[in-house]
Amino acid sequence: MRRTSFAHWPCSVARTMDLLGDWWTPLVLREAFYGIRQFDAFQASLGIARNTLADRLRRLVDEGLLEKEPYQTEPVRYHYTLTEKGRDFFSVLLAMSRWGDRWLADEAGPPVAHYHDVCGQESHAEVVCAACGEPMTAENTHPRMGPGYPPHLAERPEVRERFSS
Amino acid sequence: MRRTSFAHWPCSVARTMDLLGDWWTPLVLREAFYGIRQFDAFQASLGIARNTLADRLRRLVDEGLLEKEPYQTEPVRYHYTLTEKGRDFFSVLLAMSRWGDRWLADEAGPPVAHYHDVCGQESHAEVVCAACGEPMTAENTHPRMGPGYPPHLAERPEVRERFSS
């Protein structure tokens, strides 16, 4: 059964999740960031069923996160490489990784560290305000109706309530 | 059929995704950040099946992201409120939201803006290095084996290759 579609909700979290489809997709992207480019390499690394992998790769190509390019003929074989849209998803994986490192790691510590070329340190991600650089937290950040909020929903009482803080 | 479990992979992205279980879970959390606390309010807002919602809330309570507290007796009714672990997940939703705003919004613009109390601006999230404050991107960040990487996997050639950059 096709699950509920979130693609048209006025929420970028819901739209992002709709595009991803399921949890394999971020892991396929993670592998692409690790430098994996070939179907068989994704398959070996993730232990994912071939038909599931084919479906997730097709989706990522259709949605413009990956590009599929032939690198060999007879037989034709393809590389999957990240587009700019795909590469930008790194920030979401970093934020997930930080949360998991903080809350799900065992006593030994995080399984993977992130070396930042800019400062030469093993570090982790922090989610800050693009305007002032200070952390954005649930306590200091409030949702406002954005320019793309659907006008026909904007006057509903429950929607007004939602954005009243 | 139970899907593949990612919980024990040496990867905080995989562990986070395993905990969430499916895409409803971040949306349930999103609603909690909007101030929703009661079962019926989650249900009305998300249009989610009651048994699915009950399952996701139970999981979030079991995993320590939500607390379930009685607020009424006869009949007993409960509030679901975010714990510190749950509140910290806001950063992941902000990163997703930013990516979706950038890549999935239509011409009208992002559906929701984020007002940052600290600077008094409608802004968006940026993912930066906790050590130096500069953006962490796929281009300037490289994975290293962390302290919690399983020793029995660390010597495998494909693992060494993965962390060789």
pLDDT tens-place string over residues B111-123: 999 999 999 999 9
From first to last of its 165 residues, chain B has per-residue pLDDT tens of: 345 666 778 899 888 888 887 788 999 999 999 999 999 999 998 999 999 999 999 999 999 999 999 999 989 999 999 999 999 999 999 999 999 999 999 899 999 999 999 999 999 999 999 999 999 999 999 999 999 998 888 888 888 888 887
CA atoms of A28 and A30, how far apart (whole Å): 5
B147, amino acid identity: P
Which residue from B92, B104, B136 is facing A116, i.e. has the nearest CB? B136
Residue of B nearest to A92 (CA): B95
Each residue's pLDDT tens digit, A130-165: 999 999 999 999 999 999 998 888 888 888 888 887
B127: chain A residues, CB-CB within 8 Å: 91, 94-95, 125-128
- Which residue in B84, B82, B85, B105 sits closest to B31, CA to CA? B82
pLDDT, tens digit, 9 for 90 and up, residues A64-109:
999 999 999 989 999 999 999 999 999 999 999 999 999 999 899 9
Q: Considering chain A, what is the average pLDDT of its residues? A: 91
DSSP H/E element including A70: strand A66-72
Query: Which residue is it, tokens 């079962």?
Result: B39
What residue ranges in B64-164 does DSSP mark as E strands?
Answer: 66-72, 77-82, 112-116, 121-123, 125-129, 141-145
Nearest neighbour of B99 by CB, restricted to A88, A128, A142: A88
Please calculate the CA angle A13-A15-A20 and round it to the nearest 5 degrees: 95
Question: Omega of the bond prior to B75 within 30 degrees of 0, cis?
Answer: yes
Interface of B with A in 88-127 (CB under 8 A): 88-106, 108-119, 121-127
How far, in Å, CA of B138 to CA of B140, rounded?
A: 6
Could you give the 3-state DSSP secondary structure of residue A114?
strand
- Please list the residues that pair with B92 across neighbouring strands: none
- Residues A126 and B128: beta-carbon distance below 8 Å: yes
| Residue contact B114–A11, C-beta within 8 A | no
Place of tokens 């690790």: A34
Judging by DSSP bridges, how do beta strands B77-82 and A121-123 pair with one another?
unpaired
A103 vs B87: CA distance, rounded Å? 12
Task: Label residue A6 by pLDDT band (50, 70, 90).
Answer: low
Long-range CB pairs of B62-68 (<8 Å, 24+ gap) are B63/B19, B65/B29, B65/B89, B66/B32
Q: Tell me, what's the pLDDT at B67? A: 98
How far apart CA B34 and CA B29 sit, in angstroms, is 9
SS3 breakdown of chain B: % helix, strand, coil, rounded to 5? Answer: 40, 20, 40
Choose, out of B1, B3, B13, the residue to mutate when testing the contact with A (most A CBs < 10 Å).
B13
Please name each of the domains of chain A with its CATH number. 12-87 (1.10.10.10), 89-123 (no CATH)
Question: Cβ contacts of residue B20 below 8 Å, gap of 6+?
Answer: A23, B26
Question: What residues in A contact B102, CB-CB < 8 Å?
Answer: 88
Question: Which of B 34-73 lie inside 8 A of A, CB atoms?
Answer: 34-35, 45, 47-48
pLDDT digits 0-9 by tens, B36-66: 999 999 999 899 999 999 999 999 999 999 9
Q: Which residues of B touch A116 (CB under 8 A)?
A: 129, 131-132, 134, 136, 140-141
Q: Is the pLDDT of residue A52 over 90?
A: yes
Q: Do A121 and B131 touch (CB under 8 A)?
A: yes
